[in-house]
Structure 1
Amino acid sequence: MLTGYMMMEKDKLHIAIANDDAEDRQFFKDAFNQVRVATAVTLFKSGRSLTNYLRLTPNLPHLVLINLNKPSGAGMEWLIKLRANKKLRDVVVGIYSSSSYMLHVEEAFIAGANIYIKKPDDYSAFKKVLTDVVGISLLYLTDGLNRESFMVSYLEDGL
């Protein structure tokens, strides 16, 4: 059983995703359903709904993914709000975007992101990136890595 956080579904990596685009939310859900690690994906239409959920739930997700430019405004704002909350400081947070502009990557890491993903256009490359992210997140959770030094970036398609 995974430790560190209470599980919503036993022995599954719980992932929360905020994206205001219904097609993108389905894209993520489908990709995570094909990852070899058992996952439970909770989708949110806005950063506000994700943040409210995280503040109220006793069962924190293991991984939170936020679109840099969405939902409902800048994803960076929601990242900063998550990191300002003591309860949420140790949750693994990934920022994803179609941008690989280094200033965006640096700002995300400075604001507290653990993972920065340049979203590949190709579905199979995207699925591979998500598989890698899940594997690295599991290592973080099971090996007790320090969140402050846990940072990974996926800037090239197919990495």
Structure 2
Amino acid sequence: MTYSVEALVPIAADYPTYSRAREHLKDMLDATATGRTVTIARDGAISAMLPVDPLRAYFFRTVSPRVSVFREDDSVVALMEGRPFVSEGTDVDGALADLVESLREYAADWEDRLQHAPNHHDAWGLVQLVKLSTDAELVDWLERGGE
């Protein structure tokens, strides 16, 4: 998703051109290390550079995993309600680990081709959470994250 400079008039870009941003890359990284968000304008669009940890924490709280875990025969099943993810394992840990693997595969597919499909367009937040998280952080999110 791109935002036009005109639509964000109240927000002045910290760096009004890509060239200016490139000249100040160290300053930009230093600013984000202190928690600031830095904006860069290029070809009529504004992009943001921001610290990963607060962004990941935001997605952890706002993207709901909606996971149901139940036993079926000799397997434990983990199902993400409202999303096309279901995994199995011999125990809860195994089912969640398999679910993390499925989420990683989906995030890669989403970036390659699915992001423009109407039924996958709204998965942007989920994909960002997956990309910004370790496997352990994703398991933690599956167990207690979301709204």
- Fold in common (TM above 0.5): no
Rg (Cα) greater in structure: 2
Greater helix proportion: 2
Higher relative CO (Cα under 8 Å, sequence separation at least 6) belongs to: 1
